[in-house]
Amino acid sequence: MGFNITENSYRGIPVLLLEGSLMDTDALRFSRALRNLIKNGHPQVGVDISRLEYIDSHGLGLLVYHSNTLKKEKRSLIIFNSNTDPDSYINKLISSTNLHVALTILPN
């Protein structure tokens, strides 16, 4: 599967819904889309990773980078993950890398 980005909103928070496999050149597309949301000045910006099948280290690094950048501005990046399958790639990745410590990850 390829990679798709859709912009949505959840309770007034702009959210990027990511689907498929986020890697290599798609990471640049994702970063641009996220920067566009961030520059609008919203106090919170969201990324929904529930439908991601794969994310490489570049994509993970972008999530952490943008989260830290927003924290410095007293804003926040919220990661939504409604995928309840503990054996899914994304949930195993979150658990094994302790991303839930570095990022705000919420079920939606």
Tell me how far apart the alpha carbons of residues 44 and 37 are, in angstroms, rounded to a whole number.
10
CA 35 to chain centre: 12
Examine the pLDDT at 1 and tell me if it is beyond 70.
no
* Tens-digit pLDDT profile for residues 37-66: 999 999 999 999 999 999 999 999 999 999
CATH code for the domain in which residue 62 is found: 3.30.750.24
Tally the domains of the chain: 1
Cβ–Cβ contacts within 10 Å for residue 37, how many? 19
* Structural domain containing residue 80: 3-106
Find the helix packing angle between 57-72 and 25-38, rounded to 10°: 20
pLDDT of amino acid 25: 85
Please state the pTM of the whole predicted model.
Answer: 0.92
